[in-house]
Amino acid sequence: MKTYNDLYTKLYSLDNLFLAYKKARKRKTKKDYVLEFDEDLINNLLKLQRELENLIYKPQPLKTFIIRDPKLRKISKSEFVDRIVHHALINVIGFIFDKTFIHDSCANRKGKGTSKAIERLKIFIKKATKNYKIDIFFLKADIKKYFDNVDHDILLNIIGKKIKDRNIIDLIQLILNNHCSKLGMPLGNLTSQFFANIYLNELDYFIKYELKIKYYIRYVDDFVILHNNKHVLEFYKQEINNFLRNTLSLELHKDKSKIYFIDNGINFLGFRHFDRYSLLKMHKRKIIKNKLTFMLKEYKEVNSYGNLMRNIESVFSYIEHENTFNLRRNLVNKINLKLNTI
């Protein structure tokens, strides 16, 4: 296994910090905290560089708030300067791990995302049903309180197999400990999303190379396995749960990890997927409408047409390939109406 040393000096180089700064401020250039940082940009970056180089950097306490999506979620937001550090870290170690991830790990990766995951699931359904000629079953699974239960020691051990730079490991531990001491990662941090893939990459390898499961796709802690034999899926489910408990100190969510007949439809990433078509779930329709309302309100406040168009394109790319013609038409009419009154 290839390992990596001497990464920390690259992390705090001014070139890397400036690149990280540009990523952290992307689509947030009008925010007050970005404008304040920009007022003395060079000195702020040099100050951060000195703190990192001298190993005296300390992240600020997280700001926590609750959202409904549709269930209640606790989101923890890092200060802008800490987000720069998160990007700087991933700039130097991201490629090391990303190239080890399986093809069908679809969350928070360049060139992947929800649309690609949905397209991939459709391909799997077509192949598993032999062009829709045979009936199949599926295991739809979810890991119980995943982000709350990631074990820091296990995560650091996984990362440490590749990263041998002690200062990088110490920085990662500092970021993790900013949330709590030994367990859990905050929703809302870029690093949490990245570490989530590293942690469950262990599960991916077990499923693909130990159990040799062919039709498997994962998005964060939400995954689907297709097979024509229900009993085989029951065996897989038990083996996966044993692996999670014994290796990662996790377990499947009992109520959200069940085996169904394909005619029930696969609930995955906001859609119910059947063999030949997909339907957007009602709560997702409401979330999308609320999201567009917020985008239009933000556009009115900061007057950034480019940001608005990028956000709208993101929403439509998520729903455009499914049976959502009427929804898309209604959303376009709503957007046009609102823009004409701004």
Which distant-in-sequence residues (6+ apart) come within 8 Å of 107 by Cβ? 113, 117, 193, 196, 197, 218, 219, 220
Query: Dihedral of CA 158/162/166/168: which sign?
Result: negative
Q: What pLDDT is attached to residue 92?
A: 98
List the chain pLDDT tens, one digit each, 342 residues.
788 889 999 999 999 999 999 999 998 888 999 999 999 999 999 999 999 999 999 999 999 888 766 667 788 899 999 999 999 999 999 999 999 999 999 999 999 988 899 999 999 999 999 999 999 999 999 999 999 999 999 999 999 999 999 999 999 999 999 987 789 999 989 999 999 999 999 999 999 999 999 999 999 999 999 999 999 999 999 999 999 999 999 999 999 999 999 999 999 988 888 887 777 655 565 666 666 666 666 665 555 555 666 666 666 666 665 566 565 566 666 666 655 555
Cα gap 315→294, rounded to integer Å:
13
Judged by DSSP in three states, 122 sits in: helix
State how far Cα 115 lies from the chain centre: 13
Q: What pLDDT is attached to residue 298?
A: 63
Amino acid at 79: E
Q: What pLDDT is attached to residue 30?
A: 86
Nearest to 146, CA basis, from 237, 42, 256 = 256
Cα gap 236→180, rounded to integer Å:
33
Q: Are 253 and 143 in contact (CB under 8 A)?
A: yes
Q: Element (H or E) spanning 76, and its range? A: strand 72-77
Q: What pLDDT is attached to residue 238?
A: 98
Q: What pLDDT is attached to residue 65?
A: 83
Tokens coding 311: 């956000």
Which distant-in-sequence residues (6+ apart) come within 8 Å of 266 by Cβ? 121, 125, 138, 140, 224, 260, 272, 273, 274
Amino acid at 288: I
Q: Are 256 and 295 in contact (CB under 8 A)?
A: no
Cα gap 254→319, rounded to integer Å:
29
Buried b (16+ CB within 10 A) or exposed e, 107-118: bbeeebbbbebb
Scanning 106-221, the segments in alpha helix (DSSP H) are: 114-128, 146-149, 152-160, 166-177, 190-205
Q: How far is residue 72 from each of residues 66, 69, 134, 196, 296, measured CA to CA in Å?
A: 7, 6, 39, 20, 24
Q: What pLDDT is attached to residue 336?
A: 64
Nearest to 288, CA basis, from 270, 268, 265 = 270
Tokens coding 87: 């990007």
SS3 content of the chain, % helix, strand, coil (to 5): 55, 15, 30
